[in-house]
Amino acid sequence: MAQAISNALNNDTEMKAMDANRYATKKTIAQGMLDIALLTANASQLKYILQVGEQHQFYKLMLILISLSIILQLLVGILFVIIGSLNINRKQDQTAAIILNDIIMVIVFVISVINVVISGFGIEYSSQPLRLLDQHQKQP
């Protein structure tokens, strides 16, 4: 009887084994949501740059960097869908998941660097692009 009570107490205090596949799926979904947030921000920046046009001091550079960031984010989104469909409890999927995860990590790093550069060149009047156009047109 004492042994049964001891076993029951030990079972209650022991942590259940973590389902690695479920964890990986949740992690991929969370990363995907962050990717969507960054994609939305880049779309807004692209809209601003296109509205201001060549009057922006770094128009071509910003256009290239924002477009590259969006393209890489779409690639990462596709890779998230692929990696999310893998079952890491199967051996052959584990190798593919590790490789895809490493590729995603490198691309996300590149996207981060690109977006730091985009921020460095700044979009000062992002909420008022037409006002900026008016200011440039009024200057002699």
Tell me the DSSP string of the chain: -HHHHHHHHHHHHSPPPP-HHHHHHHHHHHHHHHHHHHHHHHHHHHHHHHHHGGGSTTHHHHHHHHHHHHHHHHHHHHHHHHHHT--TTSHHHHHHHHHHHHHHHHHHHHHHHHHHHHHHH--TTTT-HHHHHHHHHH--
- Per-residue pLDDT at 104: 92
Low-confidence ranges of the chain (pLDDT < 50): 12-15, 125-127
- Per-residue pLDDT at 57: 82
List, for residues 41-79, the tens digit of each pLDDT value.
898 888 888 888 888 788 898 999 999 999 999 999 899
Nearest partner of 122 among 49, 17, 38, 18, judged by Cα:
49
- Angle (nearest 5°) at CA 46 between 42 and 135: 125
